[in-house]
């Protein structure tokens, strides 16, 4: 019998990544195309089909999983995603189904990441967890009783937009003080200017043109006091807000994934300490902060492919 695959697709504002994934999480074929090169989603889907079917026959593909910004699990549509080249309401799952003739399932990219953790990653044996993607923004996928929480309309899990500091920093969503404006790579970069500290004068970060969050974390690890303060502040804002979240669903773990999380346990330990400091007593020392062990490059494909494996 031929090897069976799920086709995992991650639609991003810049690139669309895709891959054929077996049921153990091995990626056999991987590709990347520029999203904005395609005038319509149908053209993009046709190009993916062209590349995938040069490698595998359609009878070997058990299903398609798609992660996309503003992807709605219930109706299979991308709804008004601000960073994609196509506007409005796009019935993407249907377009894939028409092209490939197999079932396609869509969700937003943060939920796909949570599914990937569950099937192939750090939370295989955990039924209640929250996966947190710290990239340009702050994505979250909430798993309760082994199920992703979608909410009544498919948009649950926008934890990055809870307001942590009233009247605080402006957020991309048009409001002020969201978690994402502090805890994300863009949030860390904003802290370089906005955090007040007497150690600013001696910091190497001001010698760099257009510093990144990675610069801040690298300098912090190498003894730059101001950068260490930024990391500490970021960990505090996240840790305290996670203690709040714990009161809601009592997860066993928060899994950190993405750019900032790649600094590994260094950041996770700080987040854990700040969380424990304000954690309600019945939850104390029961909730873990884990760093994702999915390889960053493939995680999006693994995550979206797991949608198809899960539906199987
Ligand atoms: Zn916001």
Mind listing the pLDDT tens digit for each residue in 66-107?
A: 999 889 999 999 998 877 889 899 999 999 999 999 999 999
Look-up of token digits 């690890």: 221
Distance 2 CA to ligand 1 centre (A): 47
What pLDDT does 21 receive? 94
State the Cα torsion 155-159-160-161 to the nearest 10°. Answer: 70
Does 297 score more than 60 pLDDT?
Answer: no
Look-up of token digits 């950068």: 227
Distance 169 CA to ligand 1 centre (A): 9
Q: In sequence order, which ranges of the chain are alpha helices (DSSP H)? A: 41-53, 92-100, 109-120, 185-194, 213-221, 225-249, 265-278, 296-311
Distance 3 CA to ligand 1 centre (A): 43
Distance 181 CA to ligand 1 centre (A): 7
Distance 88 CA to ligand 1 centre (A): 21
Distance 161 CA to ligand 1 centre (A): 4
Tell me the two tokens of residue 186.
Answer: 């863009």
Helix, strand and coil in the chain, % to nearest 5: 45, 20, 35
Q: Hey, what domains does the chain have and what are their CATH numbers?
A: 5-115+297-311 (3.30.420.40), 125-293 (3.30.420.40)
Distance 139 CA to ligand 1 centre (A): 11
pLDDT band at 219 (very low <50, low <70, confident <90, very high): very high
Distance 243 CA to ligand 1 centre (A): 19
Distance 91 CA to ligand 1 centre (A): 26
Does 123 score more than 60 pLDDT?
Answer: yes
Distance 237 CA to ligand 1 centre (A): 15
Distance 173 CA to ligand 1 centre (A): 4
Distance 159 CA to ligand 1 centre (A): 9
pLDDT band at 2 (very low <50, low <70, confident <90, very high): confident
Distance 189 CA to ligand 1 centre (A): 17
Distance 177 CA to ligand 1 centre (A): 7
What pLDDT does 294 receive? 82
């Amino acid at each position: 019998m031929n090897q069976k695959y799920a086709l995992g697709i991650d639609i991003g504002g810049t690139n669309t990544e895709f891959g054929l994934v077996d049921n153990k999480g091995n990626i056999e074929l991987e590709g990347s195309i520029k999203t904005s090169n395609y005038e319509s989603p149908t053209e993009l889907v046709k190009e993916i089909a062209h590349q995938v079917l040069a490698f595998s026959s359609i009878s070997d593909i058990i299903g398609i999983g798609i992660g996309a910004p503003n992807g709605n699990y219930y109706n299979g549509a991308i709804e008004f995603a601000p960073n994609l080249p196509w506007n409005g309401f796009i019935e993407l799952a249907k377009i894939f189904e028409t092209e490939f003739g197999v079932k396609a399932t869509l969700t937003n990219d943060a939920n796909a990441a949570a599914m990937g953790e569950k099937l192939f990653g750090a939370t295989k044996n955990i039924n209640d967890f929250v996966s947190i993607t710290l990239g340009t923004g702050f994505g979250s996928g909430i798993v309760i009783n082994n199920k992703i929480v979608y909410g009544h309309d498919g948009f649950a899990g926008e934890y990055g937009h809870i307001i942590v500091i009233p009247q605080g920093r402006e957020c991309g969503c048009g409001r002020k003080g969201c978690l994402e404006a502090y805890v994300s790579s863009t949030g860390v970069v904003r802290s370089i200017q906005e955090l007040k500290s007497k150690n600013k004068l001696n910091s190497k970060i001001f010698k760099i043109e257009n510093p990144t969050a990675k610069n801040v974390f690298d300098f912090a690890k190498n003894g730059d006091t101001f950068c260490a303060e930024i990391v500490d502040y970021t960990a505090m804002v996240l840790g305290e807000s996670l203690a709040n979240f714990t009161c809601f669903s009592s997860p066993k773990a928060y899994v950190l994934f993405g750019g900032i999380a790649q600094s590994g346990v260094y950041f996770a330990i700080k987040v854990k300490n700040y969380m424990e400091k304000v954690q309600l007593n019945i939850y104390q020392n029961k909730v873990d902060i884990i760093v994702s062990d999915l390889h960053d490059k493939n995680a999006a494909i693994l995550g979206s492919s797991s949608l198809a494996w899960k539906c199987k």
